[in-house]
Amino acid sequence: DVKVTQSSRYLVKRTGEKVFLECVQDMDHENMFWYRQDPGLGLRLIYFSYDVKMKEKGDIPEGYSVSREKKERFSLILESASTNQTSMYLCASSPSLLSGEQFFGPGTRLTVL
Partner 1 sequence: SQQGEEDPQALSIQEGENATMNCSYKTSINNLQWYRQNSGRGLVHLILIRSNEREKHSGRLRVTLDTSKKSSSLLITASRAADTASYFCATYGKSNDYKLSFGAGTTVTVRA
Which of 56, 29, 61 is closest to 44 using CA atoms?
A: 61
| Rounded Cα gap, residues 87 and 81, in angstroms | 11
Single residue of 47, 48, 64, 74 touching partner 1 by CB under 8 A: 48
Size of site (CB under 8 A) for partner 1: 25
Task: Establish how many alpha carbons lie within 13 A of residue 43's alpha carbon, considering only the half-sphere containing its beta carbon.
Answer: 12
Q: Which is nearer to partner 1, 2 or 77 (CB)?
A: 2
Indicate which single residue of 7, 8, 13, 58 sits in contact with partner 1 (rule: CB under 8 A).
58
Which region among 14-22, 64-72, 73-81, 101-109 touches partner 1 (by CB under 8 A)? 101-109
Task: Give the number of C-alpha atoms closer than 13 A to the C-alpha of residue 79, restricted to the C-beta side.
Answer: 7
Binding region for partner 1 (CB under 8 A): 4, 33, 40-45, 48, 58-59, 88, 90, 92, 97, 99-107, 109
